[in-house]
């Protein structure tokens, strides 16, 4: 049974990390205790006409203090509204949702691109094995310092302003790290490239997908992705990213 709860929580901090990127800390209580790396919570807007909750990945949890950290990019009206909230405000949310990453392997590659990086931080903290962490940015870096201490961190920036000039796959291919598991979250072209790389090297991979969502709880089918096998619930070759995902093994899905 799902441990997801819907409730109003207090915002402890909501600060601007970089242009358009915010870092929100929530007093989430039992929601934090139940959360696994790779899961997400959905946040509700207060303004009229914004009925659908906005899914945001859990970046970090502090189970003892009952806190959840989110890092989000202002993408439209909902996330803009979140960015204007202040410490002490309340926000309605539901979670934790989705399946999360399975912790496995002895040598892991953790690969994140852009706003796909936040859910990998809690994963990097909880995964106890040899870890290479490859973070890709278009230009401005964020969260990279938070990963230090949880593995060897490699940066790729498309504009050459930090680390290696290029994308995460340029780093992966240049170093050809030995690995038995890849964890990845990022834009669709990046996930496709990771999937192809993992298949070519016969490495298991867990990919966290992002699809436009509506209900966020498995009821509306707005978020399906193509799957290799027929889904028992839907009786079609697709899976709900919000319910069966957002994390899938690479060989389960078609990108």
Ligand X SMILES: Cc1cc2nc3c(=O)[nH]c(=O)nc-3n(C[C@H](O)[C@H](O)[C@H](O)COP(=O)(O)OP(=O)(O)OC[C@H]3O[C@@H](n4cnc5c(N)ncnc54)[C@H](O)[C@@H]3O)c2cc1C
Chain residues that interact with ligand X, rule: CB under 6 A: 40, 52, 54-57, 72-73, 75-79, 115, 118, 210-213, 246
Least Å distance, CB 106 to ligand X, is 28
113 touches which of ligand FES, ligand X, none (CB within 5 to 8 A by kind)? none
Out of ligand X, ligand FES, none, which partner does residue 55 contact, by CB within 5 to 8 A per kind?
ligand X
> What does 216 interact with, of ligand X, ligand FES, none (CB < 5 to 8 A by kind)?
ligand FES
Least distance from ligand FES to the Cβ atom of residue 53, Å: 9
Is residue 11 part of the contact set for ligand FES (CB under 6 A)?
Answer: no
Q: CA 234: distance to chain centroid?
A: 25
Binders of ligand FES among 213-252, rule CB under 6 A? Answer: 213-216, 218-223, 240, 242
- The 8 Å CB, 24+ separation contacts for 173-179 are 173/197, 175/132, 177/107, 177/109, 177/132, 178/107, 179/105, 179/107, 179/108, 179/109, 179/132, 179/203
Q: Of the two residues 179 and 224, which places its CB atom closer to ligand FES in the complex?
A: 224
Query: Using the 8-state DSSP alphabet, how is residue 163 labeled?
Result: B
- CB 211 to ligand FES: min, Å: 8
Rounded to a whole number of angstroms, the minimum distance from the CB of residue 97 to ligand FES is 9
Going from the C-alpha of 74 to that of each of 77, 79, 133, 140, 190, the distances in angstroms are 8, 5, 25, 15, 21
Distances (CA, A) of 72 to 16, 125, 194: 10, 19, 23
Which of ligand X, ligand FES, none interacts with 56 (beta carbon under 5 to 8 A by kind)? ligand X
Residues 6 or more apart whose CB falls under 8 angstroms from that of 61 comprise: 32, 35, 67, 68, 69, 122
CA torsion sign, 245 to 42 to 32 to 75? Answer: positive
Q: Which is nearer to ligand FES, 193 or 207 (CB)?
A: 207
Q: Provide the token pair at 193.
A: 């490239």
Judged by the rule CB under 6 A, the positions of this chain that interact with ligand FES are 213-216, 218-223, 240, 242
């Amino acid at each position: 049974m799902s441990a997801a709860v819907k409730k109003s929580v207090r915002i402890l901090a909501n600060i601007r990390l970089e242009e358009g990127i915010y870092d929100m800390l929530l007093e989430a209580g039992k929601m934090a205790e139940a959360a696994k790396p790779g899961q997400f919570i959905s946040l509700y807007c207060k303004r009229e006409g914004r009925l659908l909750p906005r899914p945001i990945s859990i970046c970090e949890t502090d189970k003892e203090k009952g806190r959840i950290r989110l890092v989000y990019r202002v993408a439209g009206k909902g996330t803009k509204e979140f960015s204007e909230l202040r410490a002490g405000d309340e926000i309605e949310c539901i979670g934790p949702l989705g399946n999360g990453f399975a912790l496995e392997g002895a040598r892991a590659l953790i690969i994140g691109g852009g706003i796909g990086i936040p859910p990998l931080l809690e994963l990097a903290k909880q995964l106890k094995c040899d870890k290479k962490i490859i973070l890709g940015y278009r230009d401005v870096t964020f969260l990279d310092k938070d990963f230090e201490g949880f593995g060897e961190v490699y940066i790729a920036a498309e504009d050459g302003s930090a680390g290696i000039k290029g994308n995460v796959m340029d780093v992966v291919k240049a170093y050809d790290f030995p690995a038995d598991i890849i964890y990845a979250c990022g834009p669709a072209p990046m996930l496709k490239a990771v999937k192809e790389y993992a298949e070519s090297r016969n490495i298991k991979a867990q990919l966290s997908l992002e699809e436009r969502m509506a209900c966020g709880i498995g009821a509306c089918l707005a978020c399906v992705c193509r799957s290799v096998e027929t889904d028992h619930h839907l009786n079609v070759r697709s899976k709900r990213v919000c319910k069966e995902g957002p994390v899938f093994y690479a060989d389960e899905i078609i990108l």
